[in-house]
C-alpha cells in the first residue's frame, strides 16, 4: 500500500475522532456543570459507543459477506461516518432539550447517542477491515500505527480549536462548534474514502473472533485470568476520569469552557509522549512488569494530585497532575499490552488482541459509569453546592 493510501485511511480515523472530541471534551462539562444533569446519566450516554462495541464482530462479518455495488467496506464506512457525524452534531440539542424538558429530552438524547454510537462502531470496524484488506500482512502494523498517530494528533488539535471557539460559552456557540466539527468530519471522510477501495477486489478474509471467544481464550489460563482481572481494574481506574475531568475543572477552579476543553489536549499529549518514551527508550532498560508498575504508580499519583488540587484549591497543581495521569496512562498501556501479548502463543495472538479490546471497552464503560455514580452519590450525601467540589475530589481519590 502506498503512503498516500495510508494517509487517506488515517483521515477516516481522524473523521471519527473529530466528531468524538467535542462530546467527550466539551459536552460532558456543559451537561454536568452548566446544565446540572446527573453525572451518572451523562456517563451512561457517553459510553454508548463502548456498550455497542461487541456488535463490531457482527458488523464486520456482515460486511465481509455482503458487498454493496461491488464494494465490501466503502458503503459501511460512509454510512458509519454519516451516522457518527450526524449523531454527534445533534447531541448538544438533545442536551439542551434535556435541561429544558427532561423526559422528552432524555428520550431524544438516548436516540441521538445511539445513532452516534452505531455510526462510530460501523465506521471503526469497517475502516480497520479496509486497512487489513489494503495492506500486505507485513505492512498492517505500520498502517494502523500511522492511522493511530493521525487520530491522536487530531484529538489534540480538535481540543485546542474547539476550546478557542468556545472562549465565551453560549448555547448558540456550542451548537455551532458541533455543526462545524460534524461538517469537518464529513469532508475528511469524503477525502479519505472516495476511490480508496478498489471495486470487486478479491481479498482473503481473516477469522473474526467474538468478545466471548476472546474472553474464553484468556480465562482458560489461570495466570492470564488473573492478569485480565488486574487489567480491567487498572484500565477502569485510569480511564474512568474521562467524563468527570472537565466538570471537575469547572467546579473546583471555575475554569472556562476553553480551559477545560484543552485539558483533553494536555492529557492526550502526555499519553503520546509516554508511549513513545516507553516504546523507544524505557523498554530497553526496564522489564515489562516494572514498567507496568511504574505506569500504575504514576497514574495513581496523578489521580491523587488531582484530588488534592481540589482540596487545596490549587489550579497550578491540577493541570500538571493531569499531565502526570496521561503520562502514567501511556506507560501503563504499552507495558501491559506487551505483557498481554507475552501470555499467548503466536496462533492465539488475534484472540488476545480481541481480549485487550474487550477489556478496554468494558473498563471505559464501567469506569466512567462508576465515577459518575460516585460523584452523584457523594454530592447527595454531602448535600450542599459548596461541598460538591470536595465530593469530586473524594471521587478522584476513590
Residues that bind another protein (CB under 8 A): 13, 128, 140-145, 147-149, 151, 223, 226-227, 229-230, 233-234, 236-238, 275-276, 279-280, 283, 288-289, 292-293, 296-297, 299-300, 303, 333-334, 337-339, 341-344, 353, 356-357, 360-361, 398
Tell me how crowded residue 389 is: count the other CB atoms within 10 A of its CB: 20
Least distance to another protein, CB of residue 113, Å = 21
Cα 155 from Cα 17, distance rounded (Å) = 6
Which lies closer to another protein via its Cβ, residue 178 or residue 228? 228
- Smallest gap, in angstroms, from Cβ of residue 18 to another protein? 16
Report the DSSP beta bridge partners of residue 370. Answer: none
Q: Where are the alpha helices (DSSP H) in the chain?
A: 3-22, 28-29, 39-46, 48-51, 55-65, 74-100, 102-134, 140-165, 171-193, 211-219, 222-239, 245-253, 257-277, 283-285, 288-311, 315-342, 349-382, 385-397
Contact call for residues 329 and 376 (beta carbons, < 8 A): no
Query: Residue 332 CB, nearest distance to another protein (Å)?
Result: 9
The residue (of 13 and 375) whose beta carbon lies closer to another protein is 13
> Between 91 and 278, whose beta carbon lies closer to another protein?
278
Least distance (Å) between residue 214 CB and another protein: 11
Instruction: State the minimum distance, in angstroms, from the CB of residue 296 to another protein.
Output: 5
**Cβ partners under 8 Å of residue 336, min gap 6:** 231, 234, 292, 295
Task: Bin 200: left if φ > 0, else alpha if -120 < ψ < 50, else beta.
Answer: left
Looking at the Cβ atoms of 144 and 193, the one nearer to another protein is 144
Nearer to another protein, 12 or 27 (CB): 12
Residue with cell 460532558: 28
Q: How far is the CB of 129 from another protein (least distance, A)?
A: 11
- Please tell me the distance from the alpha carbon of residue 240 to that of residue 21, in angstroms, as a whole number: 16
Amino acid at each position: 500500500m502506498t503512503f498516500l493510501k495510508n494517509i487517506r485511511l488515517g483521515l477516516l480515523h481522524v473523521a471519527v475522532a473529530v466528531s468524538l472530541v467535542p462530546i467527550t471534551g466539551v459536552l460532558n462539562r456543559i451537561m454536568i456543570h452548566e446544565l446540572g444533569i446527573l453525572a451518572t446519566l451523562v456517563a451512561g450516554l457517553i459510553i454508548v459507543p463502548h456498550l455497542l462495541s461487541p456488535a463490531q464482530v457482527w458488523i464486520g462479518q456482515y460486511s465481509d459477506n455482503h458487498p454493496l455495488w461491488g464494494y465490501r467496506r466503502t458503503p459501511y464506512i460512509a454510512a458509519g461516518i454519516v451516522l457518527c457525524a450526524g449523531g454527534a452534531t445533534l447531541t448538544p440539542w438533545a442536551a439542551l432539550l434535556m435541561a429544558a424538558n427532561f423526559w422528552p429530552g432524555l428520550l431524544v438524547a438516548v436516540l441521538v447517542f445511539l445513532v452516534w454510537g452505531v455510526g462510530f462502531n460501523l465506521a471503526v470496524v469497517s475502516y480497520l477491515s479496509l486497512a487489513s484488506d489494503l495492506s500486505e500482512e507485513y505492512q498492517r502494523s505500520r498502517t494502523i500505527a500511522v492511522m493511530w498517530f493521525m487520530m491522536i494528533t487530531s484529538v489534540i488539535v480538535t481540543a485546542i480549536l474547539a476550546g478557542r471557539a468556545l472562549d465565551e460559552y453560549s448555547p448558540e456557540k456550542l451548537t455551532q462548534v458541533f455543526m462545524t466539527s460534524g461538517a469537518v468530519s464529513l469532508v475528511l471522510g469524503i477525502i479519505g474514502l472516495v476511490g480508496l477501495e478498489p471495486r470487486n477486489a478479491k481479498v482473503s478474509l481473516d477469522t473474526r473472533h467474538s468478545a466471548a471467544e476472546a474472553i474464553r481464550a484468556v480465562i482458560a489460563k489461570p495466570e492470564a485470568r488473573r492478569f485480565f482481572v488486574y487489567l480491567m481494574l487498572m484500565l477502569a481506574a485510569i480511564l474512568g476520569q474521562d467524563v468527570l475531568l472537565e466538570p471537575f475543572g469547572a467546579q473546583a477552579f471555575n475554569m472556562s469552557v476553553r480551559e477545560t476543553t484543552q485539558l483533553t489536549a494536555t492529557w492526550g499529549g502526555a499519553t503520546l509522549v509516554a508511549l513513545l518514551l516507553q516504546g523507544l527508550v524505557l523498554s530497553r532498560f526496564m522489564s515489562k512488569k516494572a514498567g507496568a508498575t511504574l505506569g500504575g504508580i504514576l497514574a495513581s499519583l496523578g489521580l491523587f494530585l488531582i484530588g488534592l488540587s481540589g482540596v487545596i484549591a490549587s489550579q497550578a497543581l491540577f493541570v500538571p497532575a493531569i499531565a502526570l495521569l496521561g503520562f502514567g496512562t501511556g506507560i501503563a498501556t504499552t507495558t501491559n499490552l506487551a505483557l498481554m501479548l507475552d501470555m499467548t502463543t503466536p496462533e492465539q495472538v488475534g484472540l488476545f488482541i480481541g481480549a485487550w479490546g474487550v477489556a478496554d471497552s468494558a473498563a471505559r464503560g464501567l469506569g466512567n459509569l462508576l465515577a459518575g455514580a460516585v460523584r452523584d452519590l457523594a454530592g447527595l450525601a454531602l448535600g450542599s453546592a459548596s461541598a460538591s467540589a470536595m465530593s469530586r475530589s473524594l471521587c478522584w481519590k476513590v
